[in-house]
Structure 1
Amino acid sequence: MTRDTRVTQDRPAVTPPRIVSPRLARAALRAQAGLCGGALLLLVTLPAASAQGRLDARYEATLAGIPVGKGAWTIEITDDQFSATASGATAGLMKAFSGGSGTGASQGRVVGGALVATNYSASTSTAKKTEAIHISLANGNVKEYGIEPEPPVDPNRIPVTEAHRRGVYDPMTGSMLHVPGTADPLSPEACHTGAAIFDGRMRYDLKLDFKRMETVKAENGYYGPVVVCAIYFSPVAGYIPDRPVIKYLAAQRNIEIAFAPVAGTRILVPFRMVIPTPLGKAMLEATQFITQATPPRVAKTQ
């Protein structure tokens, strides 16, 4: 994605929160959160004092109505920097089959009101494997990245070139939607955008379209409107074309994300994410969504 518009083995990265589950359920949940996690970031110019806020959210993941994971997401935005951290773990019956946990984080600068990521990291752990990903960026271009342990080379994987790593967003920063102007950011226009995401292994494009407006109520915190966007996934590089999960996601036309506002900003973040799977509807939804504006910092005087 350009500055004006806007993945583990062949799966989009999981943010927020990162959730690990077995086989198809794991792929569905990872794809669901990753698509949201990589939903998009639209960089705009905002007055610095109007783009300061905080979000403290908790999410629950379900598959066919059965709880399979829980996670948390915290976002802090000041006049000149931002940070976002997420964590998640399997829960309920899924934990008995395959326990797993993960974390993710993104930090960067706020330049003229725009979020400009400089660092992204993510890690997952299961009984069989632990993996860590890191990405360093400068003005939307990847400076350096790596995966530990280094994955084996697969000749069937479409290579990621240097060009693929330019003009991109990390999955965590890409999950925050910036809406320009002075009108209500919760409008159909918020969905008229797209994103280019690089998660350390895979490069993919996301396109959003407006679906509807809704009113939501978290168990704790936010009660109000959301804008619901359809999202379409297109793999670009870093994936194996014959992988069923890639074909399935690319063919989907019923994936959607509901965005809610962060108080004190013109930033929208995912409140609910839904993706159909062969096992039933996978959903990641906020049970807590506490957001508040923070006052601008006052320069110290002698």
Structure 2
Amino acid sequence: MTIGGHGATAPLSALRFAALAVLALLAAAPPAAAQGKLDARYEVTLAGIPVGKGTWVIDISDDAYSASASGGTSGLLQAFASGSGTGGSQGRIVGGALLPQNYSATVRSSKKSETIRMSLAAGNIKEFAIEPEPPVDPDRIVVTEAHRRGVLDPMTGSLLRVPGSADPLSPEACRAGGAIFDGRMRYELRLDYKRMETVRAERGYSGPAVVCAVYFTPIAGYIPDRAAIKWLAAQRNIEAWFAPIAGTRILVPFRMMIPTPLGMGMLEATQFLTQASPPRVAKTQ
């Protein structure tokens, strides 16, 4: 989900980026086929003050998945940096692994609008474009062809798949990390287990969540002197709280906590409606 516009301060830019980048990567071992849906609503606060809202809808079938998100600034932040955004990812499920095929994201502010589109195959970027095309910045670290191989889009990278047959809400869920390309920047995310917690949405899910520490490392496509990038890369107290999509071994962020110089930034689900879907019955003659 996209929060905010282009005129915010560095800490707020870091908060928006982290909310977009939300987490984790896919393990290699295939689980059994499973199906489920999620309809979630999120609120973003900074030092306890509401600054944004967003939605996230995910549909997992036995051989395909789709995820779409939208969001925008609200409350006090809207007076300073109005903005909104939408995004989505679709792909196939092969041997239990999520293989993205298409990704798009559009961010709008009072001054401009930008759209990123990507197509992928077998973890490699086939095509990508930014509209309008941004100006070339000599200070930006160049993204090479090698940087665009073996990656996930940021939406698929937010779906944490836990292999095996044991309870997915366990320390094993946080043993993840890997490569993300968002159409502009290539970066690495790494998770480490911290603890278990109990969460309760205003509507929907109430139960355990696994809490992972999140570490962000920029690789290419960024300007090293940018304050927001430096801030995120230096953080050692970012947390993501993951809850399950019923009927699957997929976990998604229920809450994210990101320290900023202006106070704690938090993205938290106010609605987390999830249900298992009945298995698809093969057609017979």
- Please, what TM-score do these two structures have when normalized by structure 1? 0.91
Q: Distance in 2 between matches of 1:194 and 1:289?
A: 25
Partner of 1:121: 104
**Pairing partner for 1:241 from 209, 224, 228:** 224
Q: Equivalent of 1:187, from 170, 195, 210?
A: 170
Residues 35 and 233 in structure 1, CA contact (< 8 A), matched pair in contact too: no
CA distance in 2, matches of 1:60, 1:101: 14
1:219 aligns with 2:205: no
SS of residue paired to 2:69: strand
Query: Is the 8 Å Cα contact of residues 119 and 135 (structure 1) preserved in structure 2?
Result: yes
Quick one: distance in 2 between partners of 1:158 and 1:204?
12
1:195, 1:206 within 8 Å by CA — same for their partners in 2? yes
Identity, in percent, stands at: 70
Per the alignment, residue 44 of structure 1 pairs with 29
Assess if the C-alpha contact under 8 Å between 1:228 and 1:257 holds in 2: yes
Deviations 1:273-300 (A, max 9, x none): 1110111111100000011000111122
Structure 1 counterpart of 2:10, from 14, 19, 24: 24
Match of 2:187 in 1: 204
Q: Secondary structure at the match of 2:173?
A: helix
Unaligned runs of 5+ in 1: 1-16
Shift of 1:194: 0.8
Letter aligned with residue 221 of structure 1: G
CA distance in 1, matches of 2:140, 2:159: 29
1:91-240 map, 5 Å = 91-240=74-223
Q: Report if the CA contact (8 A) 2:140-2:221 is conserved.
A: yes
Which of 247, 261, 281 is residue 264 of structure 1 equivalent to? 247
**Which stretches in structure 2 are left out of the alignment for 5+ residues?**
none
Give me the CA root mean square deviation. 1.1
Q: Which amino acid aligns with 1:80?
A: D
Tell me, what secondary structure is at the counterpart of 2:219? strand
Taking the aligned partners of 1:293 and 1:279, their CA distance within structure 2 comes to 40
| SS, match of residue 28 in structure 1 | helix
CA distance in structure 2 between the partners assigned to 1:146 and 1:226 by the alignment: 37
How far has the Cα of 1:25 moved from its partner? 4.7
- CA offsets per residue over residues 231-284 of structure 1, 9 Å max, x none? 111110001111111111111100010000010000100000111011111110
Distance in 2 (CA, whole Å) between partners of 1:92 and 1:43 is 42
Preserved CA contact (<8 Å) 2:53 2:71: yes
Question: 1:41, 1:169 within 8 Å by CA — same for their partners in 2?
Answer: no
CA contact (8 A) 1:32 1:274 kept: no
* One-letter code aligned to 1:39: A
2:27 is paired with a residue of what secondary structure?
coil
Match of 1:7 in 2: none
In 2, Cα distance between the equivalents of 1:25 and 1:244? 8
Shift of 1:43: 4.2
Distance 2:79 2:18 in 1: 22
Q: Distance in 1 between matches of 2:169 and 2:251?
A: 8
Q: Structure 1: which amino acid aligns with 2:60?
A: I
Match of 2:268 in 1: 285
- Letter of the 1:44 partner, please give it: A
**Shift, 1:35, TM fit:** 3.5
Does the Cα contact within 8 Å between 2:26 and 2:97 map onto a contact in 1? Answer: no
* One-letter code aligned to 1:131: E
Q: CA deviation at 1:152?
A: 0.6
The alignment's TM-score, normalised by the length of structure 2, stands at 0.97
Name segments (4+ residues, structure 1) moved above 4 Å.
Answer: none
Which residue matches 1:74? Answer: 57
The aligned amino acid for 1:18 is: T
Alignment partners' CA distance in 2, 1:97 and 1:28: 16
Residues 43 and 71 from structure 1, CA distance in 2 versus in 1: closer, same or farther, beyond 3 angstroms? farther
The structural deviation recorded for 1:80 is 1.1
CA distance in 1 between counterparts of 2:175 and 2:15 reads 25
1:36-59: CA deviation from partner (whole Å, max 9, x where unpaired): 1x43233431222xx200000000
